[in-house]
């Protein structure tokens, strides 16, 4: 994530750099789409939400116009109006759950700006490398309820994923308790929106059953009032035929999802874990019994988001440049050229030029003379920074022993901007 600094109203930072005030969502590295200034976050396939809205609202309108309206006078004590009111309220409720599921942070873990410090020395360094090659262990182990659970390092987010976390390839984010990416809601389903997703699917199932049932009630009313057969009554209301067929098909889809997720909740599994047969051969360390598993989903408070998408950031950009030989050289490049000149005067007459020491200077400069291969960035330290160990915090909340190595770690080399040639200024 980007560091948050107070905005600079002067519009100009030290060293001639202008400060551009932006918000976190404007520099977001994932594939998400934001609305209303970062208040709502959606997946990249947000257009699928409009299809889902159409599939919910259009049948509800047809039902209210061609079925519920005809049933207003078919019941005593004006109870027929309740058929339409319930249908309208139920539809609004389902649409609200769809938007809440799709428009909130599903549990995205902020990316690190630097990878953690490597710990393992590579026994097979690259040919010509003059420094030992360090690499990060791919997996680490934590204890969850007395069971050993492996956590994996994410190369994209540069962190060790907490238990049950996975990286969504569509949204390009690591999501806590990742369940799946749902194309119908256009969002990842994770720790912070799984409850609303299940409520949406189950409510859509009940709405289908409701419409299906009252379509048949209307058909039976026609049959009894006009003394016709079932087929004759169906012909009198083609809208009911269409709704009966539509809701019958949909109830198998959303109803099947409801039953499947009831099973997952009762066993405390995610769709991702179930499809990968994660607990077929091993014990599920998260399963604490049906009652406790349902409490985890429906009664426990939803943790706050780890991201403040509306946080104000200050991004510095170089504004003062000078022309040199038809090109532009910024202040860092000018300083570097001066350092090269001084170093060449010191080495004058020896015929050898020592490799430029990068420690304490600009980030990621390459070798000056090209006589040595580029050094690996592994193991290079440009200062310590504090690693936020989400793995340790999540694991400790699940009752594990602290076996994650946290603390400070060095940067693995900065971005290699501004490579210099071996020519010195005349």
Closest CA to 235 of 212, 251, 219: 219
Strand, helix or coil at 426? coil
Residue reference for tokens 């980007």: 2
Asked if 182 is an active-site residue, the reply is: yes
Of 168, 174, 182, 215, the catalytic one is 182
Strand, helix or coil at 18? strand
Rounded Cα–Cα distance for residues 382 and 120 (Å)? 19
Q: Give the orientation angle of helix 290-298 with respect to helix 238-267, to 10 degrees.
A: 120
Residue reference for tokens 């604490």: 288
Rounded Cα–Cα distance for residues 272 and 174 (Å)? 13
C-beta atoms surrounding 179 within 10 Å:
26
The pair of structure tokens assigned to 134 is 């360090």
Rounded Cα–Cα distance for residues 181 and 274 (Å)? 14
- What is the Cα 150 distance to its own chain's centre? 21
Confirm if 261 and 73 have CB atoms less than 8 A apart. Answer: no
Exposed, middle or buried, 72 (CB in 10 Å: 0-12/13-18/19+)? middle
Torsion over CA: 271, 274, 275, 276 (sign):
positive
Confirm if 98 and 52 have CB atoms less than 8 A apart. Answer: yes
Compute the half-sphere exposure of residue 5: CA atoms within 13 Å on the CB side of its CA. 13
Confirm if 135 and 376 have CB atoms less than 8 A apart. Answer: no
Strand 40-42 with 159-160, pairing: unpaired
3-state secondary structure 75-90: CHHHCHHHHHHHHHHH
Compute the half-sphere exposure of residue 182: CA atoms within 13 Å on the CB side of its CA. 26
Rounded Cα–Cα distance for residues 356 and 300 (Å)? 57
* Residues assigned a catalytic role: 182
């Amino acid at each position: 994530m980007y560091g948050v600094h107070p905005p600079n109203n002067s519009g100009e930072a030290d060293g001639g750099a202008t400060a551009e005030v932006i918000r976190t969502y404007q520099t977001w590295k994932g594939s998400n789409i934001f609305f209303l200034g970062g208040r709502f976050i959606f997946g990249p396939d947000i257009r699928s939400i409009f299809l889902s809205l159409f599939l919910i609202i259009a049948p509800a309108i047809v039902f209210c116009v061609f079925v519920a309206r005809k049933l207003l006078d078919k019941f005593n004590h004006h109870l027929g109006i309740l058929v339409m009111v319930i249908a309208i309220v139920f539809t609004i409720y389902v649409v609200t759950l769809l938007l809440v599921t799709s428009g909130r942070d599903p549990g995205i873990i902020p990316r690190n700006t630097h990878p953690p410090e490597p710990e393992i020395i590579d026994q097979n360094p690259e040919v010509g490398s003059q420094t030992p090659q360090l690499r990060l262990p791919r997996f680490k182990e934590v204890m969850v309820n007395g069971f050993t659970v492996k956590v994996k390092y994410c190369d994209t987010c540069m962190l060790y994923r907490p238990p049950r976390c996975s990286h969504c390839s569509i949204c390009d984010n690591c999501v806590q308790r990742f369940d799946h990416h749902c194309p119908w809601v256009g969002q990842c389903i994770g720790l912070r929106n799984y409850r609303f997703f299940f409520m949406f699917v189950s409510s859509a199932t009940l709405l289908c059953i409701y419409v299906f049932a009252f379509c048949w009630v209307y058909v039976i009313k026609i049959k009894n009032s006009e003394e016709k057969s079932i087929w004759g009554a169906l012909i009198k209301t083609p809208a009911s035929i269409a709704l009966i067929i539509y809701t019958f098909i949909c109830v198998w889809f959303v109803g099947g999802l409801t039953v499947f997720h009831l099973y997952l909740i009762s066993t405390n599994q995610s769709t991702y874990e179930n499809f990968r047969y994660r607990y077929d051969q091993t014990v599920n360390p998260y399963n604490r019994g049906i009652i406790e598993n349902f409490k985890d989903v429906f009664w426990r408070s939803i943790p706050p988001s780890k991201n403040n998408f509306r946080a104000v950031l200050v991004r510095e950009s170089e504004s003062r440049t000078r022309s040199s030989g038809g090109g532009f050289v910024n202040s860092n490049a000018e300083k570097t050229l001066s350092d090269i000149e001084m170093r060449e005067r010191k080495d004058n007459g020896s015929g050898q030029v020592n490799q430029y020491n990068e420690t304490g200077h600009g980030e990621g400069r390459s070798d000056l003379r090209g006589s040595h291969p580029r050094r690996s960035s592994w193991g290079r330290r440009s200062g310590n920074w504090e690693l936020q160990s989400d793995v340790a915090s999540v694991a400790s909340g699940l009752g594990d022993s602290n076996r994650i190595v946290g603390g400070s770690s060095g940067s693995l080399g900065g971005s290699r901007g501004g490579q210099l040639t071996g020519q010195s200024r005349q």
